[in-house]
Amino acid sequence: MKEFFETLPGVFVGIMLTLALIFIIDYLFLDWFQFIEPKRANIERQVFENTHSYNQGKLQDLVKYRQEYMEADKDGKAALKSTIQHTFAGYDENKLNPELRDFLKKIKYGTGEQI
């Protein structure tokens, strides 16, 4: 029984050191995760924005918006202009055909020409 009580402090210290090591590793992992995860998400976003389906969806949306814009009255055009500017704010116009690219540039940058 005496041996048990003599080894008990050593076991207790070992358990405490193990728990401390677990917390340190967990903290370092969180620090690493905070550093690397935004980079990973940015790469995933870039890959997504270069997919065929994403670009086809944007093209179809712009064709639909353009048609609605052509048929809209003054208030409707203002609302659609705002929607188009918001939806295509970060979109690369060079991925569009020339006609849609010109339309989008006129909407986004307000060249002053009547569309």
Token match 């093209």: residue? 59
Give me the phi and psi of 112, to 5 degrees please: 90, -15
Q: pTM score, two decimals?
A: 0.65
Tens-place pLDDT, residues 97-109: 999 999 999 998 8
pLDDT value, residue 112: 46
pLDDT in tens, 26-76: 988 998 899 999 999 999 999 999 999 999 999 999 999 999 999 999 999
The burial class, CB within 10 Å (0-12 / 13-18 / 19+), for 55 is: middle
* Nearest alpha carbon to residue 101 among 46, 69, 63: 63
Give the chain's largest Cα–Cα span. 96
Domain positions in the chain are 1-50, 52-109
